[in-house]
């Protein structure tokens, strides 16, 4: 057809592009026929549309979109195949939801007409793939969901989905797209998207900043705990200004982003520990779980401040942490307001605190170095030694994706936006695809993913290596391979330390004998190595980094007996 009539799928792709979406990560099926036709037409007309990226597993597609957005700051779109493809992606959707990643997750809907429409059911699976409520299986994890009812809605539903996804606090939105509707012929579409300004992120009340500044000035032992602070890299810059000037210790606890570099004396490790018990003021920035109440907690007399875009973490059914002041605001706006306000206050304890915390920092670093040196001289590789060796190959511009236990204690980072970790939901299989998305967003930077052996297998590694090969995304994958579900074993021994299961060292249901992972990357023309002795690790990592810098994906399978 020389000039075929416009279909809704074309309007859909145009709307995505109008919102600045660079990629449509997709795992296609029979419901994609109108999308395929729309892309073919766009190639003929040179229309600006998101680049389609076929990803051979849904987990990988959503994880890549997550990784791309967390590095670029721009939301992306994903399209999956009906209910079955959507079901495969829910694990990664949970991570994106808990990490407040704006994303438009779409999936086709099996044709709802048996005959009579362009796109009616044509293969056997079209009957069994229909659900009464396809969105029901993921509704709890998205901010908004809808099924497009008419072809002329295509632009409007994209506008609505993305304005909700981008509003504070951000998060995924879901849209299902019936095949018949995507294939409908549509006329010229009017849009008011240029006149739909989104709401500004929340900022703190002036009175709250004055009160909090007074509490900081009076505190002898203040403490800052962070979790998601650093999602916006400027958070880390503003935090460093605050804590350097007023000598406030920082604990990035189960941090998902770079909040402060480990070489800063105010970095006091990644566990609350004794500083929490001694604190008279605890300021919690964007942290759903600032400490584990069954193990530790602040003094009963300490003032607690909870700060965040959703400081009550309303999407968590139960959360009972105390708060003497709760501020709904972005971390950046609070930090900037405090930096301005505190300049007018006397700080009687700051000088003594700075001297004390600097000495404590020096002692901590000496202990971490001693632990790494001892591990390097032993006969097996430990987490401390692996992280210590990473410091020789990770440059300042590198991006680290952690889905195990990357520790700044042993491998200090310097640059805001250099560290990203698995969400607090813990949906395994995120790190490898997130690394691919990060590399796609920052091709000039080295991307290193540090994974457990279980996390690597959960990532559907064949699909991930395939994408790395086909899309020329050379990432470095490092597997901390203890052939064990460590979290399962730890939980068993913690709960039943004297139980029958402890007689087998808690290994029942936790053993995870691992294959030769380095051969999987080799099947995709990548560089793979297996390392079993501490002395061999530095050279193996250096060879892997050289391969990545030459444009080849690499994997180092690090054997770490428990």
pLDDT digits (tens, 9 = 90+) for 139-155: 999 999 999 999 999 99
| Neighbour order of strands in the sheet with 23-26 | 51-54, 23-26, 76-80, 103-109, 172-178, 145-147
Residue 12 lies in a domain: yes
Give the pLDDT of residue 2.
Answer: 74
| Cβ–Cβ under 8 Å, residues 270 and 407 | yes
For residue range 190-222, what is the model confidence (pLDDT) as tens digits? 889 989 999 999 999 999 999 999 999 999 999
Residue 67 lies in a domain: yes
Do 443 and 306 belong to one domain?
A: no
What distance in Å separates the CA atoms of residue 552 and residue 446, rounded to the nearest whole number? 12
Do 170 and 309 belong to one domain?
A: no
Domain termination residue (choose one: 162, 195, 228): 195
| Cβ–Cβ under 8 Å, residues 211 and 325 | yes
What distance in Å separates the CA atoms of residue 556 and residue 531, rounded to the nearest whole number? 7
**Lookup: tokens for 66:** 């997550």
Give the pLDDT of residue 506.
Answer: 79
Do 183 and 213 belong to one domain?
A: no
pLDDT at 439 over 80: yes
Confidence of residue 433 (pLDDT cuts 50, 70, 90): very high
| Cβ–Cβ under 8 Å, residues 426 and 96 | no
Give the pLDDT of residue 486.
Answer: 77
The domain containing residue 454 runs over which residues? Answer: 378-559
What distance in Å separates the CA atoms of residue 348 and residue 246, rounded to the nearest whole number? 10
Do 417 and 550 belong to one domain?
A: yes
Tell me the mean pLDDT in the region 328-347: 96
Do 483 and 531 belong to one domain?
A: yes
Domain termination residue (choose one: 195, 217, 252): 195
pLDDT at 510 over 80: no
Other Cβ atoms within 10 Å of 42 Cβ, number: 19
Give the pLDDT of residue 454.
Answer: 93
Do 18 and 68 belong to one domain?
A: yes
Tell me the mean pLDDT in the region 373-384: 95
| Choice among 93-102, 123-132, 325-334, 466-475 with the minimum mean pLDDT | 123-132
Do 508 and 461 belong to one domain?
A: yes
Residue 440 lies in a domain: yes
Domain termination residue (choose one: 309, 325, 360): 360
Do 171 and 70 belong to one domain?
A: yes
Burial (CB count <10 Å: 0-12, 13-18, 19+), residue 310: middle
Residue 371 lies in a domain: no
Do 32 and 153 belong to one domain?
A: yes
Tell me the mean pLDDT in the region 412-427: 96
Residue 366 lies in a domain: no
Q: Which CATH number does the domain housing residue 119 bear?
A: 3.40.50.970
Q: Which residue has the higher pLDDT, 497 or 416?
A: 416
Tell me the DSSP string of 282-327: EEEES-S-SS-TTT----TT-EEEEEESSTT-TTSS------SEEE
Residue 372 lies in a domain: no
Give the pLDDT of residue 457.
Answer: 95
Give the pLDDT of residue 138.
Answer: 97
Tell me the DSSP string of 47-70: ---PEEEE-SSHHHHHHHHHHHHH
What distance in Å separates the CA atoms of residue 59 and residue 83, rounded to the nearest whole number? 14
Do 123 and 261 belong to one domain?
A: no
Other Cβ atoms within 10 Å of 46 Cβ, number: 7
Confidence of residue 119 (pLDDT cuts 50, 70, 90): confident
Tell me the mean pLDDT in the region 102-131: 91
Q: How many domains does the chain have?
A: 3
Question: Cβ contacts of residue 433 below 8 Å, gap of 6+?
Answer: 59, 60, 61, 62, 63, 64, 66, 67, 92, 459, 464, 467
Give the pLDDT of residue 112.
Answer: 87
Do 356 and 416 belong to one domain?
A: no
Tell me the mean pLDDT in the region 65-70: 98
Tell me the mean pLDDT in the region 531-542: 98
Q: Which CATH number does the domain housing residue 251 bear?
A: 3.40.50.1220
Do 431 and 524 belong to one domain?
A: yes
What distance in Å separates the CA atoms of residue 303 and residue 287, rounded to the nearest whole number? 16
Looking at mean pLDDT, say which of 324-328, 345-349, 404-408 comes out highest. 324-328
Give percent of the chain with pLDDT exceeding 70.
Answer: 100
Give the pLDDT of residue 456.
Answer: 96
CA 99 distance to own-chain centroid: 6
Tell me the mean pLDDT in the region 130-143: 96
Confidence of residue 508 (pLDDT cuts 50, 70, 90): confident
What distance in Å separates the CA atoms of residue 218 and residue 273, rounded to the nearest whole number? 22
Tell me the mean pLDDT in the region 429-447: 98
Nearest to 86 by CA among 31, 127, 124: 31
**Lookup: tokens for 464:** 């991930």
Confidence of residue 1 (pLDDT cuts 50, 70, 90): low
Confidence of residue 375 (pLDDT cuts 50, 70, 90): very high
Omega within 30 of 0 (cis) for the link into 328: no
């Amino acid at each position: 057809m020389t000039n075929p009539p416009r279909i809704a799928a074309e309007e859909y792709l145009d709307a995505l592009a109008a919102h600045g979406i660079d990629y449509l990560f997709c795992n296609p099926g029979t419901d994609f026929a109108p999308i395929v036709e729309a892309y073919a037409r766009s190639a003929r007309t040179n229309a600006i549309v998101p680049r389609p990226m076929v990803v051979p597993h849904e987990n990988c597609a959503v994880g890549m979109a997550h990784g791309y957005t967390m590095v670029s700051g721009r939301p992306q779109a994903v399209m999956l195949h009906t209910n079955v493809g959507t079901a495969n992606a829910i694990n990664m959707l949970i991570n994106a939801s808990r990490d407040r990643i704006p994303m438009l997750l779409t999936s086709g809907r099996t044709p709802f007409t048996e005959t009579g429409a362009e796109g009616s059911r044509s293969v056997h699976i079209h009957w069994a793939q229909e659900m009464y409520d396809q969105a029901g299986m993921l509704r709890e994890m998205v901010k908004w969901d809808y099924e497009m009812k008419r072809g002329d809605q295509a632009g409007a539903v994209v506008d609505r989905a993305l304005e909700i996804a981008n509003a504070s606090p951000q998060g995924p939105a879901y849209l299902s797209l019936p095949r018949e509707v995507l294939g409908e012929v549509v006329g010229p579409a009017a849009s008011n998207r240029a006149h739909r300004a989104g709401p500004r992120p929340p900022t703190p009340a002036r009175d709250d900043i004055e009160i909090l500044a007074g509490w900081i000035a009076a505190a002898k032992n203040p403490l800052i705990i962070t979790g998601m602070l650093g999602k916006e890299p400027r958070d880390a810059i503003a935090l460093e200004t605050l804590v350097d000037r007023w000598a406030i210790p920082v604990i990035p606890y189960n941090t998902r982003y770079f909040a402060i570099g480990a070489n800063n004396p105010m970095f006091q490790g990644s566990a609350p520990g004794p500083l929490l018990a001694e604190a008279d003021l605890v300021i919690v920035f964007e942290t759903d779980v600032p400490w584990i109440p069954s193990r530790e907690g602040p003094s009963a007399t300490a003032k607690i401040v909870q700060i965040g875009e959703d400081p009550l973490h309303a999407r968590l059914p139960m959360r009972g942490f105390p708060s003497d002041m709760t501020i709904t605001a972005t971390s950046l706006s609070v930090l900037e307001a405090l930096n301005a306000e505190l300049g007018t206050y006397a700080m009687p304890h700051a000088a003594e605190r700075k001297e004390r915390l600097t000495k404590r920092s020096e002692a901590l670093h000496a202990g971490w170095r001693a632990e790494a040196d001892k591990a390097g001289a032993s006969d097996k590789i430990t987490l401390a030694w692996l992280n210590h060796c990473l410091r020789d190959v990770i440059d300042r511009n590198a991006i680290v994706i952690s889905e195990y236990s990357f520790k700044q204690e042993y491998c200090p980072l310097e640059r805001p936006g250099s560290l990203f970790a698995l969400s607090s939901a813990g949906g395994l299989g995120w790190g490898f695809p997130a690394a691919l998305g990060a590399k796609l967003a920052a091709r000039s930077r080295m991307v290193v993913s540090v994974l457990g052996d279980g996390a690597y297998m959960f990532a559907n590694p064949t699909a991930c290596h395939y994408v790395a090969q086909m899309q020329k995304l050379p990432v470095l994958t490092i597997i901390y391979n203890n052939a064990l579900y460590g979290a399962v074993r730890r939980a068993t021994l913690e709960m039943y330390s004297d139980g029958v299961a402890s007689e087998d060292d808690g290994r029942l249901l936790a053993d995870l004998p691992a294959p030769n992972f380095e051969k999987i990357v080799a099947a995709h023309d990548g560089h793979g190595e297996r390392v079993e002795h501490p002395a061999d690790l530095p050279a193996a990592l250096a060879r892997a980094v050289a391969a990545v810098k030459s444009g080849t994906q690499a994997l180092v399978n690090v054997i770490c007996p428990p």
